[in-house]
Amino acid sequence: MGVLDDKVAIVTGSARGIGRATAELLSEQGAKVLINDLDGDVAQQTASEIAGETVVYSGDLTKTGAADELVKTAVDAWGKVDILVNNAGYTLDAPVHKLDDDTFRKMLEIHNVVPFQTIRAVAPYFREPAKKEKEEGIEVFRKIVNVSSTSGMFGNAGQANYASGKAGVVGLTKTVAKEWGQFKVNVNAVAFGFIETRLTAAKDDSNTAEIGGEKVQLGIPEQLRAMSTMLIPMGRAGTPQEAAGGIFLLCSPWANYVTGQTLNITGGLFSGMVS
Model confidence over 141-183: pLDDT tens digits? 999 999 999 999 999 888 999 999 999 999 999 999 999 999 9
Confidence band of 184 (pLDDT split at 50, 70, 90): very high
Residue 222 pLDDT > 50, yes or no? yes
| Identified catalytic residue from 57, 125, 162, 257 | 162
- For the chain, the structural domain boundaries read 8-197+240-265
Residue 212 has pLDDT above 80, yes or no: no
Q: Say what the pTM is.
A: 0.90
Q: What angle do CA 238, 50, 28 make, to 5 degrees?
A: 70
> How open is the CA angle 187-6-264, to the nearest 5 degrees?
30
Q: Say if CB 88 and CB 67 are below 8 A apart.
A: no
The percentage of residues in the chain with a pLDDT greater than 70, rounded to a whole number, is 87
Smallest CA-to-CA distance from 151 within 266, 1, 4 is with 266
Q: Which amino acid is at 26?
A: L
Element (H, E) at 146: strand 142-149
Q: At what angle do helices 160-180 and 101-108 cross, to 10 degrees?
A: 30
Give the tens place of pLDDT for each residue, 101-138: 999 999 999 999 999 999 999 999 999 999 999 999 99
User: What is the rounded distance in angstroms from the CA atom of residue 262 to the CA atom of residue 193?
Assistant: 13
For the chain, what is the mean pLDDT?
Answer: 90
CATH (residue range 8-197+240-265): 3.40.50.720
Q: Is 162 a catalytic residue?
A: yes
Residue 235: predicted pLDDT: 85
Residue 215 has pLDDT above 90, yes or no: no
pLDDT > 90 in the chain, percent? 79
Please, what is the end-to-end C-alpha distance for the chain in angstroms? 45
Pair type for strands 208-211 and 214-217: antiparallel
What is the signed CA dihedral for 13, 65, 250, 25, rounded to 10 degrees? Answer: -40
201 three-state secondary structure: coil
CB atoms within 10 A of CB 60: 13
- Summarised one tens digit per residue, pLDDT across range 6-38 is 999 999 999 999 999 999 999 999 999 999 999
pLDDT at 274: 45
Please tell me the predicted confidence (pLDDT) of residue 217. Answer: 45
pLDDT at position 41? 96
